[in-house]
Amino acid sequence: MSISTVMVIGAGQMGGGIAQVAAAAGRKVYLNDVDLDIVKKRISFIEGLLAKDVSKDRITEAQKAATLANLIPTNDIAMAADADLVIEAVIENMDLKSKIFTQLDEVTKPSCILASNTSSLPITEIAAVTKRPEQVIGMHFMNPVPVMKLVEVIRGLATSDETLKAIFDESVAYGKTPVEVRDVPGFVSNRLLMPMINEAIFCVYEGVATVEDADTVMKLGMNWPMGPLTLADFIGLDTCLYIMEVLYDGYADSKYRPCPLLRQYVKAGWLGKKSGRGFYTYA
Ligand code: NAD
C-alpha cells in the first residue's frame, strides 16, 4: 500500500522527531497535539534543527523548505480522515492511548494503519479497542528520532503481514532500519537496556561505585557513548521506573525489581535532565 498522508499525535520530543523524518521523506504530515501552541513551538524547534542541518551542508535550503511545507499543525484529530497512517506518540499512559485509538478507529478511513510509538505498553491491548486490530502495530522510534537509525516494529497478536510490510517500507523511507519484534513486555530494546540501567543504579545504591565512576566503567570499558546513569537522566527517571514496573509485572520475575533508589529519586521529583536534577544536576 502507498502512504502519502500521515498524522502524528503528540508533538512532544518523540512526535516532533517522527513528524520531521516523515515530512523529510515527502509525506504530508498533520502534527497534532491538545494545544496548537504546543505544535507551533515544536515546528519552530524543527525549523531550528533543519537550519543547523543546512549550515552543516547536510541538507539544502530547498530541502528544509520542502520539509517545513509538509508539516501542518492541528489540534483536531478528525483531520486524520484522509491519513493513510497515524503514528501516536502521546505520553505513556494506557487509558489515554486507548481513548485515542478508539477515536482514531472512528475518524480514519478503513485502510488507515494505526501505529503507536509506545516504549512498553502492549500493542495487542491497544489494538483490542479498535475494530481493525490487524492494522494496529508498534512503531518504536529511538530518541532523538532524526539521528537514531532503529525502528523496533512490534507485531501485536492480530497484526497482519500486509501491515507489517507497509511499516517496514515506511521506516526505510524515513531512512531507518526496522527490526521485527514480538509483543512482549519491554520488547527487545527496553528488556535489555532498562535492567542494565537499573543495575547501574543498584551499584550506586549499594556504594559499589560513584555515579561518575559507574558511567566511566561503561564508557571506557564497553565503549558506550554515554554512561548508563547519564542515559537514564536523558530518558527520564520516571520513564525508566515505569518501564521497570512493566517488566516486573509482565514477567512476574524478581530480576526486574526496580532499585529503591530509582523509586526515591522519582518520588523526590528528581527526574533527570527534564527536571534539572537526576543523577547529575543540569543548569
Ligand atoms: P512528551 O511528554 O515529550 O510528549 C507527549 C506529548 O503528547 C505532549 O506534547 C502532550 O501535550 C501530548 N499529548 C498529551 N495528550 C494528548 C492528546 N490527548 N492528544 C494529543 N496530544 C497529546 O513525551 P515523549 O518523550 O515524546 O514520549 C511520547 C511517547 O513515545 C511515549 O509513549 C513514550 O513512551 C514513547 N517513547 C519515548 C522515548 C523517549 O526517549 N522519550 C523513546 C521511545 C518512545
Q: How far is the CA of 24 from the centre of ligand 1 (A)?
A: 21
How far is residue 241's CA from residue 181's CA, in Å, rounded to a whole number? 22
Percent of the chain past pLDDT 70, that is, above it, reads 100
Of 152, 170, 171, 198, the catalytic one is 152
Ligand 1 pocket, mutate which of 119, 147, 188, 189 (most atoms under 8 A from CB): 119
178 lines ligand 1 (CB under 6 A): no
How far is residue 177's CA from residue 149's CA, in Å, rounded to a whole number? 6
Indicate the helix (H) or strand (E) that contains 139: strand 136-141
Tell me the average pLDDT across 254-258.
97
Percent of the chain past pLDDT 90, that is, above it, reads 96
Confidence class of residue 199 from pLDDT cuts 50, 70 and 90? Answer: very high
Confidence class of residue 126 from pLDDT cuts 50, 70 and 90? Answer: very high
38 lines ligand 1 (CB under 6 A): yes
| Per-residue confidence (pLDDT) for residue 146, from 0 to 100 | 97
91 lines ligand 1 (CB under 6 A): yes
Mean pLDDT (the chain) is 97
CATH superfamily of 5-182: NAD(P)-binding Rossmann-like Domain (3.40.50.720)
In eight-state DSSP terms, residue 45 is: H
235 lines ligand 1 (CB under 6 A): yes
Confidence class of residue 22 from pLDDT cuts 50, 70 and 90? Answer: very high
| Per-residue confidence (pLDDT) for residue 283, from 0 to 100 | 87
Residues 112/86, Cβ–Cβ less than 8 Å: yes
How far is residue 29's CA from residue 73's CA, in Å, rounded to a whole number? 8
170 belongs to the catalytic site: no
Q: What is the pLDDT of residues 202-240, one digit of tens each?
A: 999 999 999 999 999 999 999 999 999 999 999 999 999
Task: Indicate if the pLDDT at residue 28 is higher than 80.
Answer: yes
| Per-residue confidence (pLDDT) for residue 220, from 0 to 100 | 98
Q: How far is the CA of 259 from the centre of ligand 1 (A)?
A: 25
Tell me the average pLDDT across 78-82.
98
Task: Indicate if the pLDDT at residue 1 is higher than 80.
Answer: no
Q: How far is the CA of 166 from the centre of ligand 1 (A)?
A: 23
Query: Which amino acid belongs to residue 128?
Result: A
> Was domain 190-273 assigned CATH 1.10.1040.10?
yes
Q: What is the pLDDT of residues 37-63, one digit of tens each?
A: 999 999 999 999 999 999 999 999 999
103 lines ligand 1 (CB under 6 A): no
CATH 3.40.50.720 range(s) for the chain read: 5-182
Ligand 1: atom nearest CA of 38 is: 9
Of 117, 140, 170, 198, the catalytic one is 140
| Per-residue confidence (pLDDT) for residue 58, from 0 to 100 | 96
How far is residue 38's CA from residue 55's CA, in Å, rounded to a whole number? 26
Ligand 1 pocket, mutate which of 7, 8, 21, 33 (most atoms under 8 A from CB): 33
Tell me the average pLDDT across 161-185.
98
Tell me the average pLDDT across 87-109.
96
CATH 1.10.1040.10 range(s) for the chain read: 190-273
Confidence class of residue 18 from pLDDT cuts 50, 70 and 90? Answer: very high
Residues 230/280, Cβ–Cβ less than 8 Å: yes
| Ramachandran category for residue 114: left, alpha or beta (phi over 0 → left; psi -120 to 50 → alpha) | beta
119 belongs to the catalytic site: yes
Confidence class of residue 92 from pLDDT cuts 50, 70 and 90? Answer: confident
How far is residue 187's CA from residue 25's CA, in Å, rounded to a whole number? 27
Q: What is the pLDDT of residues 235-245, one digit of tens each?
A: 999 999 999 99
